[in-house]
Amino acid sequence: MPGRCGLTDLSVKIGKIKFKNPVLVASGTFGYGEEYSEFFDLNKLGGVITKSITLNPREGNPPPRTCETPSGMLNAIGLANVGVSEFIKEKLSFLKKLDTRLIINVAGSTLEEYVKVVKRLNRIKGIDMLEINISCPNVKQGGMHFGATEESAHQIIKTIRENTSYPLMVKLSPNVTDITQIALAVQEAGCDAISLINTLIGMAIDSETRKPLLANITGGLSGPAIKPVALAMVWKVAQKVNIPIVGIGGIMNTKDVLEFLLAGASMIQVGTANFVDPKVTVKIIDELKDYCENHKIKSIKEIIGKLETQSIS
């Protein structure tokens, strides 16, 4: 029986935090975890990342909020969430009981909002890390403006860093001129990891009705359609930074995960694929074990950044 015998080490680390495997679920595709616990044991995951949490509850954008595009989908949910107080009161207890890493995704419209949310989360037992969303494309003041320039990205992460001792992962937008410069800026500001990419701004139109398919007109493109863009950005950022990278963008299967690891990601997030197959993450984790076993790889860490660019012919 290949794999599954526990010899292969899938664990990875970000700073001092050890994850049992490199597979996380991307913010906004996994709710607050409860929905998918009906399908599989969430403790098998490397970690869970919550929906973006904001200071106040947000209803989100008017419908229609999603549509399918070739090998992808557009969404403009608009950071719909229960707000940090309700999150702590109602949603956190379920997540805290899990035997996996818990990462809270934080978003806001102003620097003060981010800081207030982070301060509310400080000193809560069971939270392992924060993911700072400076890349939501679907809300006018949804944080993407913070991620748009080196100066603003640096300033917000530096301020958050001063207000919390949680390890910080910063989620970057691909909708910028040079993502490596933003990555360097947030590294310099003291974050512990960088996750990329958030969705690409996209649009779909019904030529019969002459209307956009999303009420928000534009949305964020995700799914396999964006994987080549994400891989290139992960690879470029990996050449520049020395903190761990978490790869996101169109991951559907184990092969996709391996590609991101080779490009330089230490961990990955599965997003849209959760909708297609609720159990895709556990399949990937099992298959990663098989892959390592079959290739005589003792630790998954051995392949991180091992892209061979020398002899392409």
Partner 1 sequence: MIIQQKIPIISCERVSPIFSRLRFFSPRIARESNPGNFVHIRINDNNYPLLRRAFSIHKTGREKGTFDVLFKVVGSGTKLLSFKKPGQELDVLGPLGNAFSLPKKVSQDIILVVGGMGIAPLFFLASELCRNNKTDSIKINLLYGVKNKDEFLCLKELKDLGIEVIFATEDGTQGFEGTATQLFLKQTKKYQNFKKVKVFSCGPPAMLKVMSEYAREYNLNCEISLENHMPCGVGACMGCVVKHGKKNKFEYKRVCKEGPIFNAREVWLD
- According to the binding rule CB under 8 A, does residue 30 interact with partner 1? yes
- According to the binding rule CB under 8 A, does residue 274 interact with partner 1? yes
Which one of 67, 136, 191, 292 is the catalytic residue?
136
Choosing from 86, 188, 277, 293, the residue that interacts with partner 1 (CB under 8 A) is 277
- According to the binding rule CB under 8 A, does residue 68 interact with partner 1? yes
CA distance 182 to 186: 6
Q: In the bound complex, what is the minimum distance in angstroms from residue 215's beta carbon to partner 1?
A: 9
| Burial zone of 281 (CB within 10 Å; 0-12 exposed, 13-18 middle, 19+ buried) | buried
- According to the binding rule CB under 8 A, does residue 137 interact with partner 1? no
Distances (CA, A) of 117 to 27, 146, 241, 261, 287: 16, 16, 27, 32, 37
- According to the binding rule CB under 8 A, does residue 65 interact with partner 1? yes
67 is catalytic: no
CA distance 135 to 88: 23
- According to the binding rule CB under 8 A, does residue 126 interact with partner 1? no
| Closest residue by Cα to residue 66 from 279, 214, 264 | 214
User: Binders of partner 1 among 180-219, rule CB under 8 A?
Assistant: none
**Alpha-helical segments (H) within the chain:** 84-86, 92-96, 111-121, 150-163, 179-188, 227-240, 254-263, 273-276, 280-294
Contact 285, 21 (CB under 8 A): yes
Residue whose CB is less far from partner 1, 79 or 160: 79
Q: In the bound complex, what is the minimum distance in angstroms from residue 16's beta carbon to partner 1?
A: 30
Residue whose CB is less far from partner 1, 91 or 154: 91
Residue whose CB is less far from partner 1, 81 or 109: 81
- According to the binding rule CB under 8 A, does residue 228 interact with partner 1? no
The DSSP annotation for 59-109 comes to --PPSP-EEEETTEEEE-----B--HHHIIIIIHHHHHTSSSEEEEEE--S
Choosing from 10, 80, 229, 303, the residue that interacts with partner 1 (CB under 8 A) is 80
Q: List the catalytic residues.
A: 136
Binding site for partner 1 (CB under 8 A): 28-31, 35-36, 38-39, 51, 59-60, 62-68, 70-73, 75, 77, 80, 223-224, 252, 272, 274-279
